[in-house]
Amino acid sequence: MSTLVIAARELRSLFLSPLAWSILAVVQFLLAYLFLAQLEYFQQLQPRLAMLHEAPGVTDLVVVPLYGNAGVILLLVTPLLTMRLIAEERRNRTLSLLLGAPVSVTEIILGKYLGILGLLGVMVLLITLMPLSLAFGTHLDWGKLAACILALSLLLATFAASGLYLSTLASQPTVAAVGSFGALLLLWIIDWSAAIGTEKGELLSALSLLHHYENLLKGLVSSADLSYFVLLIAAFLTLSVRRLDYDRLQK
């Protein structure tokens, strides 16, 4: 119950922040522009695609790139949303009041996490309205669309967990944002320098956010990719609880 109260308070404070509305507006504008550009490109290709056997459809050429672009853009902006979760409480000296309240550290972390997930869920919903608009005029691959929504949801949940953990470490929100962006970018590109086919390359690919995200965007929903995201989220949340528990013991 306390977790839901903290989550509702966090979500309300996020929607009262001009930063959250600004990020929602900018992300929607950028993705709408990219979506329309990709749609125009698809229309230009249609005469040639009609002559191909089993040619890629609108889902492959418009919807999947939309979610791919969304992952990159949200990697840049999500740290701006998560930076204040704990770091701002510490900067405003309200963290001691929160830790002194009759709630457990786990409830605090889960409440903060669910709050930011609420806002990110609205983002996923708004992004999904764009491909859904195509259903009125063409045929969509619903299975692949569902995989794309699942992929983006898991990716944002991982971004949020990582940002929350970095926020527990920092005393200034901007430091948390920079640290979170650096950690996420490293996880995103960690396999870029790996030689394909080697053991090192396979290990780095297994650690890469991009590798698992792309697998899901292709509609290849496997337990390995799902487990990767779930384990990463659980690891960041556990580290967040341990860090805040350490802060409580120091009071």
Residue 137 has pLDDT above 90, yes or no: no
Instruction: Encode pLDDT of 62-98 as tens digits.
Output: 999 999 999 999 999 999 999 988 888 888 888 778 7
Of 38-47, 52-61, 217-226, the one with minimum mean pLDDT is 52-61
Residue 171 has pLDDT above 70, yes or no: yes
Tokens of 212: 């698992």
Q: What predicted TM-score, i.e. pTM, was given to this entire model?
A: 0.92
The residue that leads in pLDDT, 164 or 191, is 164
Tokens of 98: 């929160």
Identify the pLDDT of residue 205: 81
d(CA 130, CA 229): 25
Identify the pLDDT of residue 195: 57
Per-residue confidence at 49, pLDDT binned at 50, 70, 90? Answer: confident
Residue 196 has pLDDT above 80, yes or no: no
